[in-house]
Amino acid sequence: MCGIVGYVGDDAAPQILVEGLNRLAYRGYDSAGHALMNGKGIKIFKDIGSPETVGQIVMKEKVHANSGISHTRWATHGGVTPENSHPHLSNCGRIALVHNGVIENYTVLKRRLEQNGVHFHSETDTEVLCNLIAQYYEDFRAQGLEDAFLQSVFAGLREVKGSYGIAAMCSEQPGTIITARLGSSLVLGIGNGENMVASDAAAFCGRTNNIVYLDDGQVACLTGKDFEIFNLDHERVTAEICEMEAREEHDYGRGDFAHFMLKEIFEQPEALRNSMRGRFSSDGSTTKFGGLNLEAKDLRRINRILFMGCGTAWHACLLAKYIIEKLARIPVDVEYASELRYRNAPIPDDTLCFVISQSGETADTLEALREMKRKGFETLAITNVVGSTIAHEAGGGIYQHVGPEIGVASTKAFTSQVLLATMVGVYLGRLRDLSMTEGMRIVKAMHELPEQIVQVLQKTQEIEAVAKKYADFNDFLFLGRQMMFPLALEGALKLKEISYIHAEGYPAAEMKHGPLALVSPTCPSLFIAPEDDMIEKVASNIHEVKARGGPVIVVTTEGSPLCEEKGIDIITIPQTHEALMPVLASIPLQLFSYYAAVARGCNVDRPRNLAKSVTVE
Ligand code: M6R
């Protein structure tokens, strides 16, 4: 949550910071701010509103500055007010700070600082850290310490309990930014005569592709010409500069699409091609992965798999269970990362632990991964963001390669996660009992999948019409059986998070055990019912809903018997291998939610109270 950008160099900092922060708006967008440094000290501009809105105000001011730190906020401590926005300035006016994370012992520190005469203007933990650093700075400065600023950051951080990614400036040391991380991602952008820091390398687009990933417990000191990295004991650490895949401005823009979510839905054919590229065996009967760091003989010994994730990624985990158990006959457990990390779950020795996370930064998923590593399990991750903390810390992994996902509602990342889990299923299956012919059938279907997604996308107008028809309802049920059950959960999450319609997902057969009581003319049910072994059973469930006056929408395959059903709305998708049906059936659900939210006038890309990466507990 929250996005940080810092710049120091020869160019005009305001423009670079505003553009960089706009690219991080997905991380939080309730308020934003900039601290700009020129010969006359630090100037702070901050307000409630999106980074774009606050950025316009800053640009109008035409401040001359060659360094600055900026922040886009997702509130944790204190409400959404201009005072609680970052950057914070210390009482003495010399230290400015932006912060992502939570300082857990901030009340104790605040009391102490207040006793020392510090006056607080906000309710934030960040202002406490800012003044803590400032107090040390005043002491060290009085002692005549040459590197008083750097020393004061070290001293402040040593007292802090919790998590942080910070960037700080000192009015008496212009042209220097000090940045540090513990549990909240930060990347340095190494340029020519300029250096940057950000929560996500997207902020560096168009300036540099050379980056350094800061590790937890590291502090970096940036000037325009140089950078140095230390551990918390102030020992110098050598850094590896990596060249990241060059990204263009359009990778981070909406193009002609009204929203990022719509753009990302439409990117899926290409995104899934990229997820699959280079990952098939030459005989076309199985899949292969470069980064697992586990030999086939090790994987054959695995007797259980544990998948962990949060939100949509958890739904991908649940689908992985259905798919891998079917293809590879390996028992799969699925846990919410947030629950598992605090539970002493008995996990058999020969378990392979897998986490799924688009951002690779979700705090609960990261901690669940660390807990499993600590217990000595083999760990793997499916992540999208290259160099993210989870990608870095997992024993091995699979990158999704779907490009930046900016819309808060996950779309292309989800389908890619499900597809990759299916590819893992094929791989593990082929190491066991999955026949060559069946392997070939699935691989062939995978090759056809992107084109089939295009066919579904061609039905956008039809789906939009259905979504508009139902957009005024306030309650929804999503129902499906077997692999369509996790998809029902995902469909319901997608609808509620962007349209604020209350929606619940259930296995269709569970209806009679409670949810059927909700069915009425004001509570529609959306069934995901491709033509498979379950279709007759789902048809009965549909009749049960219709008999009670519940409006029904059905997503089914072309030519299925449900297409003949009267008095319901039908959306059809092409037939594919059953293991790939969850991917294909996701597309109409995404479009349905999107258009329902648009019809209700919701801000699709920035749903209220949410942010893209949840880097706090
Ligand atoms: O980055 P991650 O995949 O770890 O994120 C997990 C969830 O926060 C995320 O999937 C969230 O549920 C999305 N907003 C759903 O669309």
pLDDT on residue 218: 96
Residue 482 φ then ψ, to 5°: 50, -125
Mean pLDDT calculated for residue range 430-449: 97
Indicate the pTM of the whole model.
Answer: 0.88
Judge if the beta carbon of residue 593 lies within 6 A of ligand 1.
Answer: no
Ordered strands of the 67-73 beta sheet: 41-48, 31-38, 67-73, 3-8, 195-198, 187-190, 210-213, 242-243
Judge if the beta carbon of residue 358 lies within 6 A of ligand 1.
Answer: yes
- Find out whether 454 and 503 touch, Cβ atoms under 8 Å: no
> Taking Cα atoms as reference points, which of 584, 319, 603, 552 lies closest to residue 454?
584
d(CA 137, CA 157): 13
320: helix, coil or strand?
Answer: helix
Mean pLDDT calculated for residue range 218-241: 95
- Find out whether 584 and 453 touch, Cβ atoms under 8 Å: yes
Judge if the beta carbon of residue 613 lies within 6 A of ligand 1.
Answer: yes
Q: Indicate the pLDDT class of residue 38, thresholds 50, 70 and 90.
A: confident
Structure tokens at 565: 């059903």
pLDDT on residue 484: 97
Residue 309 to residues 318, 426, 456, 492, 524: CA-CA distances in angstroms?
9, 21, 28, 17, 29
Look at residue 591 and tell me whether its pLDDT is greater than 80. Answer: yes
pLDDT on residue 543: 94
Cβ atoms within 10 Å of 146's Cβ, excluding its own: 8
Whole-number mean pLDDT of the chain?
94
pLDDT on residue 29: 86
Q: Which of 183-187, 239-243, 267-271 has the highest mean pLDDT?
A: 267-271
398-424 residue pLDDT tens? 999 999 999 999 999 999 999 999 999
- Measured in Å, residue 145 CA sits from the centre of ligand 1 at 46
Strands (E), 458-592: 475-480, 502-507, 525-528, 552-557, 569-573
Q: Indicate the pLDDT class of residue 75, thresholds 50, 70 and 90.
A: confident
Is 221 a known active-site residue?
no
pLDDT on residue 611: 82
Judge if the beta carbon of residue 586 lies within 6 A of ligand 1.
Answer: no
d(CA 166, CA 130): 10
> Taking Cα atoms as reference points, which of 537, 323, 340 lies closest to residue 445?
323
Which one is catalytic: 2, 130, 205, 523?
Answer: 2
Listed range (11-20, 198-207, 478-487, 496-505) with the worst mean pLDDT? 198-207
Distance from the first to the final alpha carbon of the chain: 10
163, β-bridge pairs: 102
- Find out whether 507 and 481 touch, Cβ atoms under 8 Å: yes
Mean pLDDT calculated for residue range 220-246: 92
484-514 residue pLDDT tens? 999 999 999 999 999 999 999 999 999 989 9
- Measured in Å, residue 313 CA sits from the centre of ligand 1 at 6
Look at residue 248 and tell me whether its pLDDT is greater than 80. Answer: no
Look at residue 341 and tell me whether its pLDDT is greater than 90. Answer: no
Query: Which residue among 359, 496, 499 has the greatest number of ligand 1 atoms within 8 angstroms of its CB, and so is best to mutate?
Result: 359
348-386 residue pLDDT tens? 999 999 999 999 999 999 999 999 999 999 999 999 998
Is 612 a known active-site residue?
yes
143-194 residue pLDDT tens? 999 999 999 999 999 999 998 999 999 999 999 999 999 988 899 999 999 9
Structure tokens at 507: 């296995």
Look at residue 2 and tell me whether its pLDDT is greater than 90. Answer: no
Q: Is 608 exposed, middle or buried (0-12, 13-18, 19+ CB in 10 A)?
A: exposed
Structure tokens at 261: 């979510």
Query: Which residue among 29, 307, 310 has the greatest number of ligand 1 atoms within 8 angstroms of its CB, and so is best to mutate?
Result: 310
Residue 157 to residues 41, 109, 123: CA-CA distances in angstroms?
24, 12, 20
pLDDT on residue 387: 83
Which one is catalytic: 43, 494, 496, 612?
Answer: 612
Residue 88 φ then ψ, to 5°: -105, 145
